[in-house]
Copies of this chain bind each other. A is one copy, B any other.
């Protein structure tokens, strides 16, 4: 029942949902206990809280679950790249309305970038140059 009416489907994940999704993306197929173990030590969540959030993510169509042994394992349905793309699009629309290049401007100002990263970005833009939309 992955009910995801298109209008709802691309709403951003809530903070905790995203926090757990990062783990799902990183680990692949996870049980509730796996997620709990992968959380940083200072982040204390009850087993039932993790379970609840994973179930919500399944309702939203973001993960799917498979019955294994006595419990379930969860894996991503929404690809990390897709969520990243969606997030950038959302930020451009809400904060940088109409001027996506300002986003990059702020990025290089606000986040320390290594020379290697800068070089990589230049290459990336080089490829894109002159490509039709």
Shortest CB distance A132–B (Å): 9
Shortest CB distance A39–B (Å): 14
Contacting pair A106 B122 (CB below 8 A): no
Number of A residues, CB within 8 Å of B: 46
Interfacial chain B residues near A96, Cβ < 8 Å: 84
Shortest CB distance A7–B (Å): 16
Proximity bits, A107-122, B CB within 8 Å = 1, else 0: 1111111110111111
Given contacts A104-B107, A118-B125, A119-B129, 16 further A-B pairs with CB under 8 A are A15-B94, A81-B106, A84-B102, A85-B106, A88-B107, A89-B110, A101-B113, A101-B117, A103-B107, A105-B124, A108-B124, A108-B128, A113-B133, A118-B128, A122-B122, A122-B125
Q: For the complex of A and B, list the 6 residue pairs with the smallest distance between their C-beta atoms, beginning with the closest.
A: A85-B110, A112-B133, A101-B117, A84-B106, A85-B106, A88-B106
